[in-house]
Chains A and B, each alone.
Chain A
């Protein structure tokens, strides 16, 4: 259970960083002087969405593995 909590915290940090990037992009676009600066968001946000999916997928994979391990230990006990 402790391991699962640690992993949850790790993935929560990853998702937070990802979300922060999205916020930073949103705050940066109006400050940019370049013409068509909104393209910054069009390029970066889809990449962040893909990254978000990969992080969630990894979380599901890790939690599945940890649950399997715990189940095996419970069966042995």
Chain B
């Protein structure tokens, strides 16, 4: 709780992507993290209720239709309103395959419904003005893709089963393989709602902000007292590459009139106030570096 209060005090970072600005409120990020799994689970539970078995029937009958269309299999959909699940596939010469809610692929749709609905909106008015449209588009398209891929998965599995492959071998392997679609959906989501990935990056930026501020304060105190600072410390402030920083820091210090001696950066007394001013900027030493 204290950490959240500390985070609230920090000046919010702005992430720019594709000429749009992304600034997120902390409550929206917390709601995203908590709300997504809860909503996803609730949506799944809703479709797992017995009154929603119309979904089972539609999926089973569509699969049977395509099985008979492509492979002339003679498969049928059997309705047995006894027990937990009511629908079965009947394959000639094979034992029945029972159908459950997981077979509809609704769990994947539910997960993405949770993700898309709770993805935080940017506080920038230009970025958020069409977010509902973008979210609706990704919701509809991702659900349709999951639905279609799921039916294709079942068609392949049942045809292989019909050809004589053991059900245990094909069921889990093809189901796992078909989950690659989730990766495609994430890529599509990034195209339409970049807020999803950017909000995750934003959390990282937000959490690392107090560390950066503390580091800057530490450098400020050291320079005030000793007029010098360790190179490794200033490297972190300037975000220089570990491999090349020794070379880069010499060039940078010459630009500003500082000197490098051993592992230390020496700042002349008349430049200390300028050094501290540039250090405490949002982007330290940004003006002269660019």
A residues near B (Cβ < 8 Å) are: 28, 32-37, 39-40, 43, 51, 54, 57-58, 61
Q: Are B136 and A34 in contact (CB under 8 A)?
A: no
Q: Is the CB of B133 within 8 A of A34?
A: no
Residues of B within 8 A of A51 (CB): 136, 140
Residues of A within 8 A of B21 (CB): none
Give the docked Cα–Cα distance between A57 and B129 (Å).
11
Q: State the CA gap A54–B137 with chains docked (Å).
A: 10
**Contacts of A58 on B, CB cut-off 8 Å?**
130, 133
B52→A33 contact, CB < 8 A = no
Q: How far is the CB of A65 from chain B (nearest CB, A)?
A: 10
Q: Is the CB of A32 within 8 A of B54?
A: yes
B52 A39 Cβ-Cβ under 8 A: yes
- Can you name 30 A-B pairs with beta carbons within 8 Å? A28-B58, A32-B57, A32-B58, A33-B57, A33-B79, A34-B53, A34-B54, A34-B56, A34-B57, A34-B86, A35-B53, A36-B51, A36-B53, A36-B54, A37-B54, A37-B57, A39-B51, A39-B52, A40-B54, A40-B58, A43-B52, A51-B140, A54-B132, A54-B133, A54-B136, A57-B133, A58-B130, A58-B133, A61-B129, A61-B133
Query: Is B81 among interface residues, defined by CB-CB distance under 8 A?
Result: yes
User: A46 vs B113: C-alpha distance in the bound complex, in angstroms?
Assistant: 16
The minimal Cβ–Cβ distance linking B135 to chain A, given in whole angstroms, is 9
Q: Contacts of B136 on A, CB cut-off 8 Å?
A: 51, 54
Q: Are A57 and B54 in contact (CB under 8 A)?
A: no
Complex CA distance for A35 and B53, rounded to whole angstroms: 8
- Using Cβ atoms and an 8 Å threshold, which residues of chain A touch B130? 58, 61
B204 to chain A, nearest CB (A): 32
Query: Which of B51, B52, B130 has the most A CB atoms < 10 Å from its CB?
Result: B51
A39–B47 Cα gap in the complex (Å)? 11
Q: Which residues of B contact A37 (CB under 8 A)?
A: 54, 57
Contact with A along B108-148 (1 / 0, CB 8 A): 00000000000000000000011011001000100000000
Residues of B contacting A36 in the complex (Cβ-Cβ under 8 angstroms): 50-51, 53-54
> A43 to chain B: which residues have CB within 8 Å?
52
Which A residues are in CB contact (< 8 Å) with B55?
Answer: 40
Give the chain B neighbours of A34 by CB distance below 8 A: 53-54, 56-57, 79, 86
Q: Do residues A35 and B81 form an inter-chain contact, with CB atoms below 8 A?
A: yes
**Chain A residues with Cβ under 8 A from B86's Cβ?**
34
* CA A34 to CA B129, docked complex, whole Å: 42
CA distance A32 to B81 in the complex (A): 13
